[in-house]
Each structure stands twice: as structure tokens, then as C-alpha cells.
Amino acid sequence: MANKRASLESITLLGAGLVGSLLAIYLKRKGYHVTVFDKRPDLRKTGEVGGRSINLALSRRGYRALEEVGLAGEVQKLMLPMKGRMMHDEKGNLTHQPYGKEGQVINSISRGRLNDLLVTEAEKLGVKINFGEKCIDVDLKAARVQLENSATGAVSKVTSDIVIGTDGAFSALRNVMQKEDRFNYSQYYLEHGYKEISIPPTASGDFAMDHQSLHIWPRGKFMLIALPNLDKSFTCTLFFPFSGQPSFESLHNEKELVAFFQSTFPDILAYMPDLAGEYFKNPTSSLVTIKCYPWSSHGKTLILGDASHAIVPFYGQGMNAGFEDCRILNEVIEEQDGDWPAIFEAFQKQRKPDADAIATLAFQNFIEMRDKVADPDFLLSKKIEARLHQLFSTRWIPQYSMTTFSDVPYAEALAIGQQQSAIMERVMKTPNIEVTWEQLDFEAIVNALDQRKITLKTQ
């Protein structure tokens, strides 16, 4: 809702990525004067995707924010629903595991097309977006940003009432905050990087594999995944160690690469006509977790999205968490009646525990996806949890469902999930559980969980 005071205030956003462009829409709808600066060119004109993953999994938290700003219809046109995980073993055998109950899906969506939609909508509302303008410094007390034009090298300064950094994991605003007293910061790089390789549509113009699944080739210390695209191709991502055996470092040429794929992912090779071409051309990118606090400074600046909490991509929640940041910030602006120092304080206090929790969950899911999803005991425990959820839908909600299909704060999803794991560990020790699991006392299992009231608002 627009308020009178907002119309007198100007906000500078750094970064017109996924989070920045959505936040611009929220703030403009509230009545603020919003100007955005992004260092990259306008991708609608260049047709690039920005060097990051081609597609992403959009789930409830992200979708809810998009719905709130009136974009549900447009976004739906870009979504491809994925009902579950399709695991591919070394022999090419398939196992399907639904993500949730009937109707609960995550959605593959093109990063570029979603970003274009958000930027275009922000401009339609009157937001001025300046591309090719890189922030090189910020005066935190004066809310003044210094920008460098990528074409001319010209440097300019812009002062506004508020500056918000949605400039991603390597945020320029955060860089300046880091020099402030009592600013906490940590970054942690995985030993794994990632590389994308595509699977084109078949000769008859169809998807090469089931397009309603997120495909996983779990291989213990590494994995390959694939998400469908609207043009009936898939984008595969290989999460692989940088060094060691096998690793990005250990595959030197086409012969070694093809032999490795043949023995490790045998059922995929036929679908990748340009495996070596893409593998040796596409970048190998790193994966980082960034934590910091406070997220605001001098009551005039704030960082949001990956700028304040970059996480590894294994829960498919980075963008979703950033979109949820925007929704919650919007609520807090309302609650604090536009008083920025109070807004920033309330927002960061509320959101920091959740950002830490999703970072932990994302890391745990890496182990689960690359390793555990191939384990029959793990699959059985998920089946038992699904039955518990079916029987006691509000009292036992699997952690994945809380994280992906509900708005339960991430910190709560993590805490409840930890209790559930401990209970399931005991349950899985039941003699002959593989054959007797349907005779378990499901009510006793649910009663063992410290009950809190969770209302699962499903999609």
C-alpha cells in the first residue's frame, strides 16, 4: 500500500538481479522514488543470461512474493512443474521420489526470463533502471553511492534517503560495511564447483527425459542434476570437486571426459551431443556461503538477498529466500510506519536466524542429494515420513515440505527437522523395518515430536 511519506523519499537500489528487481517493484508500489543501478548491460538487449545458472527451482516462498506483486499469471507461463526427484543409478535404473503430496511441486524457471519479467514490470511502474553503472563506493552515513559507467568510465555520485544493496554475493555495499567497527563476516567456499551442460530436445522435438522431474545422478562425492526448460531442453549441472580423483582437474581431454561419463553417467551420454564442446568451453564456477551481520548501517543502508546471505544451491532456496526477504521487508515497512532505522533493526533481527538456518539446510541437502538419495534406508525413511504426513498432516510435516511448500520460518523448519531426524533414526532401528514398516505405531512416532502449532499453507 502506498503511503504519503513514501512519496517524499528516494531509494537507490544497487543491483537489478532477481532480488533487486522484485524489491524495486515492492517499493515503487509503496510510493517511493526508486532508482536502480546495475553494473551489467541490459540482458533484454544482449540476450545473455549473466554467467549464472540457466534455470532455477522456484517454490512457494518465492512464488508467494511474486503473487503478492501481481505477477503470478505471467510467472506461471514461465514455469515447468517438477513433481519429484528422479534418481539415475550407475546402471541407468530409475527411482522416483515425490517431493510432497499430490499437487506439491517445485518449478523450473529460466533465470533470464524471470529477471527480464521483473525488470520490465519495475520499469512499467516507473522505476528508473540504469544498466552499465557499477557501484564502486558508498558513503554509508550520507547514503551516497559512487558509480562508474562501464562504457565511458565516467564516475558520478548519487545521494538518496536510503541505499539498499541487492548486488549479490560479492556486494559492493557489503564491502564498505565490512570496514565498519563490529561488522561480522564469514565466507566459506565448497571444495566443489559447478559446470553446466545442456541436453537438447530429441530429433522429434521432445524432451529427452521425463520433464516433470528434477533428475539426479547421485554419486557419493559428487553429482549431476538436470532441470527441464520450456524449449524442451534440459540444463544439467555437474557438482564436482575442483581437485582430486575424479575432479575438474583430473579430466584433461575429450577422451578422458567421455570415458568418465560412460562409466559414471552411462544413460546420459547419448543425450549430450556436444558434451566435450560444452564441458571445455563453459566456465567452472565456485560455490560460496556468506554470512554477515549487521545487515544495515547508520539507519540509511541495508543489504538483502545474496548480498547478506549467499548460500549453496542444493535446497533450491537462494532466490526463494531473497524473494521472501522482499515480502517480509515490505511487511516490516508497514509495521514500522516507514521509520527506516526501526525498519532495518526489526527486519534484520527477524530475518537473520532464518538466513542462517537456510544456509545450514542448503549445506545438509548437498550431502543428502549426492549421497543419501541412493540409499534404500534413506528412501524408506522418506516413505515412512510421507505416511506420517498423510496421517497427521499438521503434526508431522517433513522438513523438505516445511522448507519448500510452506512459510514456516526456516529456523523453525531446521529445529523441527532436527527432532524429526532423531526420531526417525530410532524408528529405522526397528527390526525388519523394510517389511514391517506399515505396522509401525505411527501415532506414537508423532507423539514423540515436541509439538508446536504449524499451519502448513500449501501451494
Q: Give me the least distance between CB of 296 and ligand FAD, in Å please.
A: 16
Question: Which residues pair with residue 227 across a beta bridge?
Answer: 235
What is the number of the residue whose Cβ is closest to ligand FAD?
17
Binding residue for ligand FAD (CB under 6 A) from 34, 54, 56, 105? 56
Find where cell 529477471 sits.
115
Tell me the C-alpha distance between 68 and 1, whole Å.
Answer: 11
Determine what percent of the chain falls in helix, strand and coil, rounding each to the nearest 5. 40, 25, 35
Residue 406 is a binding residue for ligand FAD (CB under 6 A):
no
Q: Does 228 bind ligand FAD (CB under 6 A)?
A: no
Rounded least distance, CB 53 to ligand FAD, Å? 4
Query: By C-beta, is 303 or 343 nearer to ligand FAD?
Result: 303
Q: Verify binding: residue 409, ligand FAD, rule CB under 6 A.
A: no
In sequence order, the β-bridge partners of residue 292 are 185
Interface with ligand FAD, residue 52, by CB under 6 A: yes
Q: Does 194 bind ligand FAD (CB under 6 A)?
A: yes
> Beta partners for 11?
34, 162
Select 160 or 420, whichever has its Cβ closest to ligand FAD: 160
Contact flag: residue 63 with ligand FAD (CB under 6 A)? no
Cell 557489503: give the residue. Answer: 174
Least distance in Å: CB of 166 to ligand FAD?
A: 5
CA distance 56 to 370: 18
d(CA 319, CA 5): 30
Contact status: 383 vs ligand FAD (CB under 6 A): no
Residue whose CB is less far from ligand FAD, 305 or 381: 305
CA pair distance 335, 350, nearest whole angstrom: 13
Q: Is 86 in the site for ligand FAD (CB under 6 A)?
A: no
Burial, 201: exposed, middle or buried (Cβ in 10 Å; 0-12, 13-18, 19+)? middle
| Nearest-angstrom CA–CA distance, 61 and 53 | 20
53: contact with ligand FAD by CB under 6 A: yes
Q: Does 101 bind ligand FAD (CB under 6 A)?
A: no
21 or 420, CB closer to ligand FAD?
21
Task: Tell me: does residue 9 bind ligand FAD (CB under 6 A).
Answer: no
Q: DSSP 3-state assignment of 385?
A: helix
Q: Judged by CB under 6 A, which stretch of 203-211, 252-260, 310-318, 340-348 contacts ligand FAD?
A: 310-318
Residue 320 is a binding residue for ligand FAD (CB under 6 A): yes
Candidate list 168, 218, 228, 398; residue touching ligand FAD; CB under 6 A = 168
Q: Which one, 262 or 286, has the nearer CB to ligand FAD?
A: 286
Q: Which of 100, 305, 398, 417 binds ligand FAD (CB under 6 A)?
A: 305
- Of 100, 218, 294, 322, which one interacts with ligand FAD (CB under 6 A)? 322
Tell me, letter by letter, the H, E, C secondary structure of 251-302.
Answer: CCCHHHHHHHHHHHCCCCHHHCCCHHHHHHHCCCEEEEEEEEECCEECCCEE
Scanning 27-35, 36-44, 71-79, 96-104 for contacts with ligand FAD by CB under 6 A, the matching segment is 36-44
Helix H or strand E segment including 170: none
Q: Determine if 15 is a binding residue for ligand FAD (CB under 6 A).
A: yes
Range in contact with ligand FAD (rule: CB under 6 A) among 303-311, 329-337, 411-419, 442-450 = 303-311
Helix 111-125 to helix 18-30 angle (10° resolution) is: 20
Q: Which of 315, 445, 450 is closest to 389 using CA atoms? A: 445
Q: How far is the CB of 384 from ligand FAD (least distance, A)?
A: 27
Nearest-angstrom CA–CA distance, 340 and 323: 20
Cα–Cα distance between 296 and 174 in angstroms, integer? Answer: 9
Site for ligand FAD in 16-35 (CB under 6 A): 16-20
Nearer to ligand FAD, 19 or 343 (CB): 19
Among 101, 134, 144, 395, binds ligand FAD (CB under 6 A): 134
- Residues in the interface with ligand FAD (CB under 6 A) total 33
**Per-position DSSP letters for 139-165, written without gaps between them:** ETTTTEEEEEETTT--EEEEE-SEEEE
CB of 356 to ligand FAD, least distance (A): 15
User: Can you tell me which of 172, 226, 408, 427 binds ligand FAD, judged by CB under 6 A?
Assistant: 172
**Do 268 and 209 contact (CB within 8 A), yes or no?**
no
User: Helix (H, G, I), strand (E, B), or coil: what is residue 230?
Assistant: coil
Residue 291 contacts ligand FAD per CB under 6 A: no
In b/e form, how buried is each residue of 438-459, taking b as 16+ CB within 10 angstroms? eeeebeebbeebeeeeeebeeb
Which residues would be at the binding site for ligand FAD (CB under 6 A)? 14-20, 37-40, 52-53, 56-57, 134-135, 166-168, 172, 194, 237, 305-307, 313, 316-320, 322
